[in-house]
């Protein structure tokens, strides 16, 4: 099942239960205005406090043994750490980084050519030890904020079983939906921006993952 919803994160959290893996790629608020590559030129942003509150609430969506993987950002790392003190996911269990090995990124002290992922857990989730997974991945950038589906396929093989439910908060162009379709995991994604949702739908349809584009409603997309 691949179910990409045109809905808010809050609506998805209120409706979903039992996710073995929750992945969040939040729309962080930056002060970088007027830049071609700035996030504010692509979609609405959220404060660190709002994102932290949403992901704390997502603890209710998780299975008793589950993981939360948060695509983070180096400039806001200290603020994020402070905002998540005392939340139900506890502290950071581990971390990894995506190294973007094509053109240089933007930056002040140095160019932003890597992006961290922070890992949290609930209970003692399973590990498939036969599926080796590195905490570093190198690949070129794609569309703005689109994460590497190939690396996330490795997350699914290492951290979940076939048929497990994966919840994708702030789905964007839904690369995780492509990964779940290939790896046989059930997927529910939440994307609040109609334009990005439509682009994600078109990408899934072009890949043969879905028969047709859905109507504009909360639950509208199912795989073949």
Domain around 78: 2-206
| 141 assigned to some structural domain | yes
| 91 assigned to some structural domain | yes
Residue-level pLDDT at 207: 86
| CA 126 remoteness from chain centre | 20
Which tokens sit at 68? Answer: 């939360």
Look at residues 121, 151, 176 and name the one whose alpha carbon lies nearest to residue 3. 176
| 223 assigned to some structural domain | no
Burial of 167 (0-12, 13-18, 19+ CB in 10 A): buried
| 117 assigned to some structural domain | yes
* Residue 24 DSSP code: E
Q: Where is average pLDDT lowest: 35-39, 166-170, 191-195?
A: 35-39
Would you say residue 163 has pLDDT above 80? yes
Would you say residue 181 has pLDDT above 70? yes
Would you say residue 156 has pLDDT above 80? yes
| 188 assigned to some structural domain | yes
pLDDT, tens only, 36-63: 445 444 457 789 999 999 999 999 999 9
Q: What is the mean pLDDT of the chain?
A: 87
CA dihedral sign of residues 164, 167, 173, 175: negative
| 62 assigned to some structural domain | yes
| 14 assigned to some structural domain | yes
What CATH code is carried by the domain that includes residue 138?
3.40.50.150
Q: Domain count of the chain?
A: 1
| 130 assigned to some structural domain | yes
| Vertex 119: Cα angle to 103 and 122 (nearest 5) | 160
């Amino acid at each position: 099942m691949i179910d990409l919803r045109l809905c808010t994160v809050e609506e998805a959290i209120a409706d979903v239960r039992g996710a073995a893996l929750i992945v969040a790629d939040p729309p962080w608020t930056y002060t970088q205005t007027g830049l071609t590559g700035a996030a504010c030129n692509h979609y609405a942003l959220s404060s660190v406090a709002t994102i932290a509150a949403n992901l704390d609430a997502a603890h209710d969506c998780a299975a008793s043994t589950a993981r939360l993987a948060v695509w983070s950002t180096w400039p806001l790392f200290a603020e994020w750490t402070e905002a998540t003190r005392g939340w139900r996911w506890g502290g950071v269990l581990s971390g990894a980084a995506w190294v973007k090995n094509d053109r240089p990124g933007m930056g002040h002290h140095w160019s932003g050519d890597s992006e961290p992922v922070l890992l949290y857990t609930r209970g003692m989730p399973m590990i498939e030890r036969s599926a080796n997974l590195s905490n570093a991945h190198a690949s070129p950038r794609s569309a703005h904020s689109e994460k590497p589906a190939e690396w996330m396929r490795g997350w699914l093989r290492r951290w979940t079983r076939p048929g497990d439910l994966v919840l994708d908060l702030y789905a964007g162009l839904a690369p995780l939906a492509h990964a779940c379709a290939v790896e046989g995991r059930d997927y529910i994604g939440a994307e609040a921006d109609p334009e990005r949702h439509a682009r994600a739908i078109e990408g899934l349809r072009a890949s043969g993952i879905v028969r047709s584009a859905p109507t504009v409603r909360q639950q509208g997309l199912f795989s073949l």
